[in-house]
A and B are shown apart, each in its own frame.
Chain A
Amino acid sequence: MSRNTLTSRRYKRRSPVRDFFHRLTRNKGACVGLVIIGILIVILIFSFFIDYKDVTKQDLSNRFLKPSWEHPFGTDDTGRDLFLRTLYGTRYSLSIGFGATFLAALLGVIIGSFAGYYGGWVDDVIMRLTDILASIPAMLLGMVIVSILGGSVRNLIIAVGICSVQYYIRITRASIMAIRGQEYVEAAKVIGMSDTKIIFTQILPNAFSPIIVTFSATIGIAILVSASLSFIGLGVSVPMPEWGALVSSGRNVLRTAPYLSAFPGLFIMITVLAFNIIGDGLRDALDPKMKR
């Protein structure tokens, strides 16, 4: 018996989650990205304490003020404080980014799994449709959908989500197809595992990491597309201080007051960048083959 108690200490369950966080936090880029997103979330929470009246308050005697302590990002053509407006706009970019990406992931993973599992004509039909979807530039597709549905946060989520769906269909299908043919799936069959158990314990966990990586990367794309749509006036309705809309409203005075476009533009850029470098970090961290 003493031997048994000894051996039971020999097998240490290596927690895949802990291994994952260990690898992620060792990646400097991913840490920077995480810090930026953390700051954005703080800003987001903080922005709920901003009074919407302050955001829209016009002060015609203080138009086009340069950045100062009082107005860190300056004021716009009607004297509204750009700092408050930009902070307030965080909610639009983040909710459209996350919302559209969730939508795309949900649809794409389901559709892609069908294509990957069943193959044959199901796969053919799905992939031809995906090809068609992918051949239309995201901006154009977004413009068409928003002009049909009308501009609102919800419709922007739908439009931008549909633009990203193709990535999830492809990545899910590809990883499920690759894993389905792997010998370890056969090996699981030989030891008597049922198909459902194989799918959940052998195939999906191994198909998951490319999907998560795609998730992070497409949030960036979604934020960019939604900002671009707002920039050309097709996004959320005008008074809302969405970042893309802010960049857009500053473009007429780009020469005299460049800060009006620059600050919200900087927010877009940094946010997109942060999600992308987190995506890279995730790809490495989710791969158990990476050195711990």
Chain B
Amino acid sequence: MQDDVILEVRNLKKYFKTNSGIVHAVDDCSFTINKGRTLGVVGESGCGKSTTGRCILRLIEPTSGSIRFKGQEITTMNRRQMLKVRKNMQIIFQDPYYSLNPRNTVYQSIVAPIKQNNLMPGASRAQIEERVLELMSTVGLAERMINSYPHELDGGRRQRIGIARALAMEPEFIVCDEPVSALDVSIQAQILNLLQELQEKRNLTYMFITHDLSVVNYFSDDIVVMYLGQIVEKAPARELFDNPLHPYTRALLSAALEPVAGANKKRIQLKGELSSPLDPGDECRFAKRCTHHCPECNCGTPKLVEVSPDHFVACHLVKQLT
């Protein structure tokens, strides 16, 4: 059952036409997620993580590529077919403040998916309320908050509403788009625990987006590292942390790890600005900031190659790095 692929993304591209050029927000990304597993997607802000997640739910239309969910190609589906599939895939947004309608109470926010999709046909009002209360208790919201507005609650509780709303659809797959980035550090752990607990109980599959490697370390099975729209490294979580190969991954890791006294590992600093994926040339996109940079890096975009089982790296100097 572990190898049961639930989501397969192939050569996904999303280009935005803007006044200043074409933004290659997601450029030829491929990955798979197995049922019940978590894929962590890591990268600095602006590297295309949210765009990838939104393409998978078809909240935005991909430019090209294939997305197969439970074996079905969804990029060519019409609205009605897509509605059916979306019941099975949900998203938890980064900022629970903006993802909740300020005019809706907790009850109204959580009941919306149930009513919209007629998930409880023929149920009485009391039964529906019971269901909302059950969802609230699942995510750790006290009953007395049922009539509260989002602005009356703190960030953690708001995020719990967002989670309850997603769970109301009983999805198998959830895109978590930086679900804790907007929260206080003290609350982050609570929400992460809740997500992990829900995954275990309901055999959920997550695509967990974050810019913070220490968060993804928490419960990812596999990790994809993105840089300016491209996947630069892909590996099982432990392998990635033990043996990071791409210069960018190494820089991210050394920035995330606490400096340990006496450790003789030098911290690698990320220098330079993150440029944007605006009309990129055919070269390594990390070249401007890379400490290993050499002339051949400017010749062609490096391809993802499998350096050891399940460990992929896109770097021209991959042989020297291993």
Q: Which residues of A contact B (CB under 8 A)?
A: 3-5, 7-8, 10-12, 14, 16, 182-184, 186-193, 202, 205-206, 288-289
Given contacts A11-B132, A188-B112, contact A288 B165 (CB under 8 A): no
**B102, CB-defined interface residue at 8 Å:** yes
A184 to B96, CA, bound (A): 9
A7 to B91, CA, bound (A): 29
Q: Are B126 and A190 in contact (CB under 8 A)?
A: no
Q: Are B83 and A190 in contact (CB under 8 A)?
A: no
Q: 0/1 per residue, B122-162, Cβ < 8 Å to A?
A: 00111101101100000000010011010100000000001
Q: How far is the CB of A121 from chain B (nearest CB, A)?
A: 12
Cβ < 8 Å to A, chain B residues 94-132: 94-95, 98-103, 105, 107, 112-113, 116-117, 124-127, 129-130, 132
Cβ < 8 Å to A, chain B residues 61-100: 83, 86-87, 90-91, 93-95, 98-100
Task: Give the chain B neighbours of A186 by CB distance below 8 A.
Answer: 54, 59, 91, 93, 99
Task: Give the chain B neighbours of A3 by CB distance below 8 A.
Answer: 130
Query: How many CB-defined contacts (below 8 Å) exist between A and B?
Result: 85
Interface residue tally on B, bucketed by range:
35 or more
Residue of A with least CB distance to B89: A190
User: Which of B90, B126, B149 has its CB near the most chain A CB atoms (within 10 A)?
Assistant: B126
Q: Are B151 and A289 in contact (CB under 8 A)?
A: yes
Q: 0/1 per residue, B26-64, Cβ < 8 Å to A?
A: 000000000000000000000000000010010100000
A3 to B113, CA, bound (A): 24
Q: Are A14 and B105 in contact (CB under 8 A)?
A: yes
Task: Give the chain A neighbours of B318 by CB distance below 8 A.
Answer: none
What is the interface of chain A mostly: helix, strand, loop, or mixed? helix
Given contacts A11-B129, A11-B132, contact A184 B169 (CB under 8 A): no
Q: Are B151 and A4 in contact (CB under 8 A)?
A: no
Q: Are A11 and B146 in contact (CB under 8 A)?
A: yes
Q: Are A12 and B130 in contact (CB under 8 A)?
A: no
Q: Are B149 and A288 in contact (CB under 8 A)?
A: yes
Residue of A with least CB distance to B151: A289
Given contacts A3-B130, A289-B151, contact A190 B125 (CB under 8 A): no
